[in-house]
Amino acid sequence: MKSITLTIVAIFFFLLPGQNLRAQNAPEKYGKTLNLGLGLVYAGYIGHPVLAVHADFEFDVVKNFTLAPSISCYTYSNNYYWGNKNYPYRYYGYHETVIPIGVKGTYYFDQLFKANSKWDFYAAGSLGFAIIQSTWEDGYYGEKYMYRNSYHGTSPFYVDVHAGAEYHMTQKLGLFLDLSTGISTFGLGIHF
């Protein structure tokens, strides 16, 4: 019974939000963090935001700076009005899946802002390329390449800027909000 009570108390303290579990004088480490999130991307000519999933893994490079290989994915369907003298003008449907793959460099401003250890504040930039798969409805013979990449125009390469914050619920878990010119995400940070 005593060991069960100690185990429950240990779990309670581990999961208790807002506990300052970092050592008082130890320098903060930002890396070795798996970030998993759901986000929104505004897909240009579609006219509405599209739900995306995102994952990245941060590792420390120098003080207050991390790099994170990342991957995201979103998919959507839409219609495009097309026709010519041989084919009737009408709306043709298409489906597109976009998988941006890149790297994100993040600088943390916690020391500058004198932030509480429960919070991280950052600015970042990311670059990479997007793998795009488009499928068109049978009968559409118009130009397909012009309408294939909603992520950043006709080029598969992208550069985005980010600003965000993370709230540490425990030493191992945090909630983050990342606002971006690409995919803005809200999710869970898992610190190793």
pTM of the model: 0.77
pLDDT digits (tens, 9 = 90+) for 144-191: 754 444 555 567 899 999 999 999 999 999 999 999 998 999 999 999
Tokens 């897909």 found at = 43
Encode pLDDT of 114-132 as tens digits.
888 899 999 999 999 999 8
Identify the architecture of domain 34-191 in CATH.
Beta Barrel (2.40)
For 102-140, give one letter per residue: b (16+ CB within 10 A) or e: bebbbbbebeeeeeeebebebebebebebeeeeebeeeb
Residues 76-126 pLDDT 10s = 888 888 888 888 899 888 888 999 999 999 999 998 898 888 999 999 999
